[in-house]
Structure 1
Amino acid sequence: MKKILGIYSGTRQHRIGDGLLARTLFSQRTLGRHVSPFLSLDHVVPTPIPTLVPAADNAIAVRPHTYSNCKMLTLVYQGQLEYTDASGKTELIGAGDVQWVTVSDTTAPGKFRPVSTRRNDVIEMLQLWIDLPLPVSDCPNHLHPAPAEKVVGVDAIPTLNLPEDGGYIRVIAGNCASHRGAVPTSSSFDVWELQLKSRCASELKTVEGRTLLLAILSGSVMINGDQTARAGEVVMLDAQGEGIFLETHASTTALLLSGDPINMLSSAMPATSSVAA
């Protein structure tokens, strides 16, 4: 089993642009290169959407454009977001959908706006920034311009049921038990969304040698029978070993992030992670 290196609490809430309050669960600014290839993770907890406030006052501008050559994933858990790119094109991101945007020196993400269709609507979302090893144009297998952004619908995201009715995994990116994630990747990383039922145990198998982070969005979970992590905390695990054993105290939503550190990438083919039976 993997050794726990530390459990860290997110920073205080901050504004994403002029919009909603978000909490940074981790970033390279606070935890350094230990979280590479991941740059940061922001969580907007369930927040009521004002129905009468002008749209411009509800706009969510992404963090200052300090990142380049990276991928930004936006996961919507509740409510709807309207995304407007730099050209003015808009698209809707609904609950369960995932949007990915490739950010380079010449392209930047647009703005997001919560969409309210009825009274008491709420929005909950994540934004994950992932470093990339090379500019897309420099990748050896790059033959045609890759799309800069795309919304992946909830029905297109592979879902794996955990043994003994312990919950399920949504494979957002990478691989899990030979299931390829919905978001295309040009480097070796996995993004799994874990939906774990209360008082259940699950054993996951990950790729040895990678950075491994477990971000708890809601609920609580004991890791490897050792320490408990709760909502708003991120667990950093050792690169050595493959297994991670989770026991829930309550229904839990978590994000498991596994990836090759950018400064340690090799030319080897990406390994495949799996769920232990």
Structure 2
Amino acid sequence: MKKKTSFSTKGVRADIGDLTIYRILANRYADAVGPFVFLDHIAPKVHLSSLKSGTGAHPHRGIATLSYIIEGEDEHFDSAGNYAKVYSGGVQWMKAGNGIIHDETLNIDSQTDSNRTHAFQFWINLPSKNKAEKPEYLAIQSDEVPQKQLPNDSGWIKVIAGSYEDLKSIIPNYSKQFLYHIQVEAGKEFSISIDEKIEVAAFLTTKSTILNDSEFQAGDFVEFDRNAGEIVIENKWYEANDIILFGGEPYTEPIVAEGPFVMNSPAEIAGAYSDFYAGKYGKIKDRKGKA
């Protein structure tokens, strides 16, 4: 049985510097999909020259951030001393835990001739017991992201988080979660089964797509019902088409979000701000070790 659509919606513009950004989640219909409480789509863009676009140094607490760089180069600094660059196809994952300051900048990929950027940033809500843990960090390059071909030459699937069949991401799971990048070839289709009560949504990156017999447009965020069933992706285009599919088990604890913090109560939000202003999250050091 095919799953039914609960709703579809578009993102809201939230540009930063030279980057065109659409805030997809939270939206007017949903505050979360499984453990995912935030999604920004950094839309595909061609740049005439090198750029350095980012939010600047800022704190987080209570979540893990996940940046998936489809095209471009993402540079990461944080107050736990982590530094790395990932390139097109790579992933930056950071567990903020009990508090961290980080800075990410997106640029064109210095390893290729491409002058395009295209990326996603997710926030993954942590269970309350994990919000008090120390920060952690992973830089995952493109060739480290699990990937496999789909049956009948239908395309491929990348497992950014969670697992699919024999593929498993190295990103830790604090609850049942999955984040897939699926490419379906022209004239092909792909079907995936979703368990009962699992929350799941699709984001259509650049082209319209048929999901369970209904056509949705590029830039649409589509959420499905909680019943067990299939999601069938049909590509009627003359070239390959991409979608992002993500979700997981419902987050059952209270959610209180304010600014860069996602906690379980207003008191914990106040504590997150208090600790930040008291300097307990540390300072970012540059590549030369200077604060």
The TM-score normalised by the length of structure 1 is 0.80
For 1:155, what is the secondary structure of its paired residue? helix
Q: Following the alignment from structure 1 to structure 2, what is the Cα–Cα distance between the partners of residues 194 and 62?
A: 31
Is 2:95 aligned against 1:102? yes
Cα deviation, 1:42-80, whole Å, max 9, x if unaligned, reads 111222345366xxxx24017975x63111110111121
Q: For residue 9 of structure 2, what is the aligned residue in structure 1?
A: 8
- Amino acid across the alignment from 2:9: Y
Q: For residue 116 of structure 2, what is the aligned residue in structure 1?
A: 122
Q: For residue 90 of structure 1, what is the aligned residue in structure 2?
A: 83
Q: For residue 31 of structure 1, what is the aligned residue in structure 2?
A: 29
Equivalent pairs counted in the alignment come to 250
Q: Following the alignment from structure 1 to structure 2, what is the Cα–Cα distance between the partners of residues 159 and 52?
A: 30
Q: Give the direction of change, closer, same or farther, for the CA distance of 1:244–1:10 in structure 2 (3 Å limit).
A: same
In the alignment, is the contact (CA less than 8 A) between 1:206 and 1:258 conserved in 2?
Answer: no
Q: For residue 136 of structure 2, what is the aligned residue in structure 1?
A: 148
Q: For residue 218 of structure 2, what is the aligned residue in structure 1?
A: 231
1:1-277 correspondence runs (5 A)? 1-11=2-12, 13-16=13-16, 18=17, 20-27=19-26, 29-33=27-31, 35-49=33-47, 51=49, 58-61=52-55, 68-86=61-79, 90-115=83-108, 117=110, 121-136=115-130, 148-225=136-213, 227-250=214-237, 251-263=240-252
> Gaps (5+ residues) in structure 1?
139-144, 266-277
For 2:252, what is the secondary structure of its paired residue? helix
- Amino acid across the alignment from 1:233: D
- Amino acid across the alignment from 2:225: D
% same residue: 21
Q: Following the alignment from structure 1 to structure 2, what is the Cα–Cα distance between the partners of residues 103 and 183?
A: 14
For 1:215, what is the secondary structure of its paired residue? strand
In the alignment, is the contact (CA less than 8 A) between 1:49 and 1:116 conserved in 2?
Answer: no
Q: Following the alignment from structure 2 to structure 1, what is the Cα–Cα distance between the partners of residues 18 and 4?
A: 38
Q: Give the direction of change, closer, same or farther, for the CA distance of 1:165–1:81 in structure 2 (3 Å limit).
A: same
Q: Following the alignment from structure 1 to structure 2, what is the Cα–Cα distance between the partners of residues 52 and 209?
A: 45
Deviation at 1:134, TM superposition (A): 2.4
For 1:136, what is the secondary structure of its paired residue? helix
Runs of 4 or more, structure 1, over 6 Å off, are none
Q: For residue 272 of structure 1, what is the aligned residue in structure 2?
A: none
Deviation at 1:123, TM superposition (A): 1.3
Q: Following the alignment from structure 1 to structure 2, what is the Cα–Cα distance between the partners of residues 243 and 173?
A: 20
In the alignment, is the contact (CA less than 8 A) between 2:87 and 2:109 conserved in 1?
Answer: no
Deviation at 1:19, TM superposition (A): 5.7
Q: Following the alignment from structure 1 to structure 2, what is the Cα–Cα distance between the partners of residues 19 and 224?
A: 36
For 1:35, what is the secondary structure of its paired residue? coil
Deviation at 1:150, TM superposition (A): 0.9
Q: Following the alignment from structure 2 to structure 1, what is the Cα–Cα distance between the partners of residues 253 and 211?
A: 27
In the alignment, is the contact (CA less than 8 A) between 2:34 and 2:247 conserved in 1?
Answer: no
> Gaps (5+ residues) in structure 2?
255-291
Deviation at 1:94, TM superposition (A): 0.1
The TM-score normalised by the length of structure 2 is 0.77
For 2:64, what is the secondary structure of its paired residue? strand
Deviation at 1:109, TM superposition (A): 2.9
- Amino acid across the alignment from 1:44: I
Q: Following the alignment from structure 1 to structure 2, what is the Cα–Cα distance between the partners of residues 62 and 208?
A: 41
Q: Give the direction of change, closer, same or farther, for the CA distance of 1:80–1:240 in structure 2 (3 Å limit).
A: same
Cα deviation, 1:119-144, whole Å, max 9, x if unaligned, reads 87121111011111124276xxxxxx
In the alignment, is the contact (CA less than 8 A) between 1:82 and 1:92 conserved in 2?
Answer: yes
Q: For residue 271 of structure 2, what is the aligned residue in structure 1?
A: none
Cα deviation, 1:146-193, whole Å, max 9, x if unaligned, reads 661111121111112111111111011111113212322121111111
